[in-house]
Amino acid sequence: MKDLHTNTPLVTRTQGTGNDLVFLHGWGMNSGAFTSFIPYLTNSFRVTTIDLPGFGENAQHVPSPYSAESLAQMIAPYIPPKSIVVGWSLGGLVAQRLALLGGSKGLALKGLVTIASTPRFIAGPCWPGIAGDLLAMFESQLESNYNRTLERFLAIQAMGSDTARQDIKAIRGHISEYPEPDQHALKQGLRILSTEDLRQDIGRITVPTLRLYGRLDSLVPTSGIDRICELHPQADTVVLPHAAHAPFISHPQQSADILFSFASSVYQQKAS
């Protein structure tokens, strides 16, 4: 049975019982991306999904300015106390911002998990990442055809995975059950991916952190992982050798086992 909290400005959905995990999706998506993954966790955890402002069931909530920080500030009041926040891709940037907000917004996070995310997505000197012209192309295509742009983005995300075709079909089917995103949020979301840079900040994240990657990810190249580890040495790092940008879709059981192990350890540490 799902709880749909309609008594708050932002819509959240909660399933399961136990300690809290909060999931934030990636660009162009909504919480439907996690539909097939959540059942792997709900026997052990209470799982809350929050559509990023401007997306899915929160498409009508578009902060101004639209930035990773403003998204984090808008989401913060709806995160249950003592949660582990799990952010995928763009959601990982927002999750890192939430971890950096810490007590300034009354947050009491237990931990942070980023999936196929990074403190900086765009490539630069000595920093592997997404080519700037690729994001610029997506932004220009948005003007004419959101659905086609999303299809191309999904294809790049799944590239390299042995189950690429099935992965794309699974994500597409679930996110189509939610309202379409706000056009301004789509464009500004790409701007966040192009401009957000938390490299000098992540060393200040104090909560236990897990960074989960797919070795075949073309958007978050594994060649940059060592640099991220240098900037955030406190974080645990796991690389799934046969996964791409959506390991929880292509390798749900393995991803769930890794998440379960990390979360169980965090809650035991805090309880002792």
Question: Residue 173 phi/psi, 5° resolution?
Answer: -60, -40
Residue tagged active-site, from 67, 83, 89, 255: 89
Range of lowest pLDDT (3-7, 256-260, 264-268): 3-7
Residue tagged active-site, from 61, 245, 250, 255: 245
Q: Six-digit token pair at 96? A: 């890192």
**Confidence class of residue 8 from pLDDT cuts 50, 70 and 90?**
low
Q: Is 0.85 topped by the overall pTM?
A: yes
93: left (phi over 0), alpha (psi -120 to 50) or beta: alpha
Is residue 240 within 8 Å of 212, Cβ to Cβ? yes
Does residue 140 have a pLDDT over 70?
Answer: yes
Closest CA to 55 of 71, 35, 36: 71
H helices of 9-89, in order, are 68-75
**Confidence class of residue 153 from pLDDT cuts 50, 70 and 90?**
confident
What integer is the mean pLDDT of 31-35? 97
Is residue 79 within 8 Å of 107, Cβ to Cβ? yes
Q: Six-digit token pair at 112? A: 């942070």
Q: Six-digit token pair at 174? A: 């679930």
**Confidence class of residue 2 from pLDDT cuts 50, 70 and 90?**
very low
Residue tagged active-site, from 20, 51, 182, 217: 217
Residue 64 is among the residues annotated as catalytic for this protein: no
Gap between the Cα atoms of 212 and 197, Å rounded: 19
Q: Going by C-beta distance under 8 Å and a sequence separation of 6 or more, which residues neighbour residue 38?
A: 15, 16, 23, 47, 49
Task: Give pLDDT tens digits for 260-269.
Answer: 999 999 998 6
**Confidence class of residue 168 from pLDDT cuts 50, 70 and 90?**
confident
More confident residue, 32 or 141: 32
Domain tally, the chain: 1
Closest CA to 48 of 74, 68, 19: 19
- Residue numbers of the domain that contains 11: 3-271
Query: What is the per-residue pLDDT for 91?
Result: 99
Task: Give pLDDT tens digits for 209-230.
Answer: 999 999 999 999 999 999 999 9
Residue 223 is among the residues annotated as catalytic for this protein: no
Query: What is the per-residue pLDDT for 216?
Result: 94
SS3 for 5? strand
What integer is the mean pLDDT of 115-142? 93
CATH number at residue 75: 3.40.50.1820
Does residue 106 have a pLDDT over 70?
Answer: no
3-state secondary structure 120-156: CCECECCECCECHHHHHHHHHHHCCCHHHHHHHHHHH
Is residue 219 within 8 Å of 114, Cβ to Cβ? no
Closest CA to 9 of 47, 48, 46, 63: 63
Gap between the Cα atoms of 42 and 106, Å rounded: 26
Query: What is the per-residue pLDDT for 9?
Result: 86
What integer is the mean pLDDT of 5-18? 81
**Confidence class of residue 37 from pLDDT cuts 50, 70 and 90?**
very high
What integer is the mean pLDDT of 232-259? 96
Q: Burial of 147 by CB count in 10 Å (0-12 exposed, 13-18 middle, 19+ buried)?
A: exposed
The span from the first CA to the last CA of the chain, in angstroms, equals 32
Helices (H) and strands (E) in the chain, counts: 9, 8
Gap between the Cα atoms of 197 and 208, Å rounded: 21
Task: Give pLDDT tens digits for 245-255.
Answer: 999 999 999 99
Residue 217 is among the residues annotated as catalytic for this protein: yes
